[in-house]
């Protein structure tokens, strides 16, 4: 039963004051039999009231506004969480039966959402290159594991070549990216074989084990395995998810789980820094002193509602029923 203290800081700074900021955060760990939240402290610039609700996928989502003029918005989340390892599926049921049961739930909620490919033009290419047929000849569990490994082997882990807006098509061409891209590609592959798959956002807490994804939020995938349920697969680290991952949210893709997003009004450019640090029971702190913030590319999170009059005009003339 590992216990982690996680400190996650998101900071936006603006050159000149902005106002009317509206924000959404998905920073509340899932609470279930494998994950217990002991404590969560959330501090936000201006101390706005945060309203928390459950979204369609069952995630806890917080919303808040900050209308006064401000030059900084800092969201500081400190959590203490205990995770339980979950035994892996036994995989004893014959594979045909397993595939048939996946076929049977295709059109059921919630699986229908987790089987639909989200605008991906290269599915056929992926099917060809991965020789999709071979995965249908093994059990869904083995198929999922092999595809997880395929992504780990064939894609390079490089920071900075992609952004939150990079599509699976682009990732497939790049054959590189970070955890979020690895997860997006694995989602496409699992879905093309008929295994329901969902995106997971959270933290990884490897304690000395040198896994990828530390110092920031992490992302991986859950595949639906018959007679078992949702099984976590981390393609960035080529492993099953046991008790070193802390789950924040699930969804069809990143956009359902975006940890922090917001809009504001103002002419200012913003810069965004994010840092995550984990401290362990044995006293080890991943980032020894304070949480280190790293600058993020500008496409991330906050959108400025600027005045593009052409776009505005197009939108205005379109609205008609």
Partner 1 sequence: MQATELLRNYYVDTNTWDEMYRDSSVREQYQRVVAFMQQLDLEELNKKEELAKRLFMSQGITFTVYSSGEGIEKIFPFDIIPRIITATEWDHIEKGIKQRLSALNLFLKDVYHNQFILKDGVVPIEMIYSCPHYLREMYNLPVPYDLYVHIAGIDLIRNNDGSFYILEDNLRTPSGVSYMLENREITKRIFPDLLPQNNVRSVIEYPNILHKNLVSLSPRQIANPTIVLLTPGIYNSAYFEHTTLARLMGVELVEGRDLVVDNHRVYMKTTFGLQQVDVIYRRVDDEFLDPLTFNPNSVLGVSGIMNAYRKGNVAIVNAVGNGVADDKAIYCYVPDMIRYYLNEEPILKNVPTYRLDNPEHREYVFNNITNMVVKKTNESGGYGMLMGNNTSDEEIREYCAAIKKDPRQFIAQPIISLSSAPCYMQGKLQPRRVDLRPYALCGPDGIEIVPGGLTRVALREGSLVVNSSQGGGSKDTWVLSA
Q: With CB under 8 A, what is the number of residues at the site for partner 1?
A: 40
H or E element: which one contains 203?
A: strand 197-204
CB of 148 to partner 1, least distance (A): 26
Note whether 319 binds partner 1 by CB under 8 A.
Answer: yes
d(CA 160, CA 165): 12
74's tokens: 């800092």
Give the dihedral sign, CA 206/209/215/217: negative
Least gap, CB of 264 to partner 1 (angstroms): 8
Q: Which of 60, 80, 113, 118 binds partner 1 (CB under 8 A)?
A: 113
Instruction: Give the residue with the Cβ less far from partner 1, 48 or 275.
Output: 48
DSSP string, 69-99: -EEEEEEEEEEEEEE---PPP---S-HHHHH
| DSSP code, position 311 | H
Alpha carbons 268 and 45: distance in angstroms, whole number: 18
- Give the interface segment with partner 1, choosing from 53-61, 147-155, 190-198, 214-222 (CB under 8 A): 53-61
**Residue 320 contacts partner 1 per CB under 8 A:** yes
Binding flag, residue 303, partner 1 (CB under 8 A):
yes
Using CB under 8 A as the binding rule, whether residue 119 contacts partner 1 is answered as no
Encode burial over 86-105: b for 16+ CB neighbours within 10 A, e otherwise.
beebebebebeebbeebeee
Interface pick for partner 1 out of 116, 128, 137, 173 (rule CB under 8 A): 116
Any contact of residue 55 with partner 1 (CB under 8 A)? yes
Q: Which is nearer to partner 1, 213 or 259 (by Cβ)?
A: 259
Binding-site member from 9, 12, 14, 23 for partner 1 (CB under 8 A): 23
Q: What is the DSSP string of 265-291?
A: ESS--EEEEEEEEEEETTS-BSSSSSP
20 binding partner 1? (CB under 8 A): yes
Per-residue string for binding with partner 1, 213-242, x by CB under 8 A? ------------------------------
Q: Among 113, 129, 249, 242, which residue's Cα sits nearest to residue 189? A: 129
- DSSP conformation class of 249: E
Phi, psi of 21 (to 5 degrees): -90, 135
Q: Contacts with partner 1 in 61-80 (CB under 8 A)?
A: 63, 65, 67
Among positions 3, 22, 36, 194, the unique one binding partner 1 when judged by CB under 8 A: 22
Binding residues for partner 1 (CB under 8 A): 20-24, 48-49, 51, 53-57, 63, 65, 67, 107-109, 112-113, 116, 261-263, 303, 305-308, 311-313, 315-321
């Amino acid at each position: 039963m590992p216990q982690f203290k996680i400190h996650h800081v998101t900071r936006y700074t603006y050159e000149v004051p902005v106002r009317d900021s509206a924000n959404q955060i998905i920073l509340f760990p899932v609470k279930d039999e494998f994950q217990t939240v002991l404590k969560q402290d959330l501090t936000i610039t201006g101390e706005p009231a945060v309203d928390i609700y459950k979204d369609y996928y069952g995630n806890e989502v917080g919303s808040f506004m900050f209308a006064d003029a401000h030059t900084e918005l800092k969201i500081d989340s400190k959590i203490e969480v205990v995770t339980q390892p979950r035994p892996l599926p036994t995989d004893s049921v014959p594979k045909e039966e397993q595939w048939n049961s996946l076929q049977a739930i295709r059109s059921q909620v919630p699986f229908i959402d987790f089987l639909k490919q989200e605008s991906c033009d290269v599915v056929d290419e992926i099917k060809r290159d991965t020789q999709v047929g071979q995965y249908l000849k093994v059990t869904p569990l083995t198929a999922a594991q092999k595809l997880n490994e395929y992504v780990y082997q064939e894609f390079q882990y490089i920071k900075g070549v992609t952004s939150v807006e990079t599509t699976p098509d682009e990732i497939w061409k790049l054959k590189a990216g970070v955890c979020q891209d690895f997860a997006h590609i694995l989602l496409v592959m699992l879905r093309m074989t008929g295994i329901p798959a969902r995106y997971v956002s959270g933290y990884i807490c490897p304690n000395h084990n040198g896994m990828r994804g530390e110092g920031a939020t992490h992302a991986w995938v859950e595949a639906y395995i018959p007679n078992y349920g949702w099984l976590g697969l981390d393609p960035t680290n080529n492993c099953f998810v046991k008790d070193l991952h802390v789950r924040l949210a699930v969804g069809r893709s990143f956009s359902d789980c975006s940890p922090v997003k917001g809009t504001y009004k103002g002419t200012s450019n913003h810069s965004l820094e994010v840092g995550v640090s984990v401290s362990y029971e044995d006293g080890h702190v991943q980032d020894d002193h304070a949480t280190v913030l790293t600058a993020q590319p500008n496409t991330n999170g906050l959108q400025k509602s600027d005045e593009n009059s052409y776009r505005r005009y197009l939108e205005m003339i379109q609205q008609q029923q």
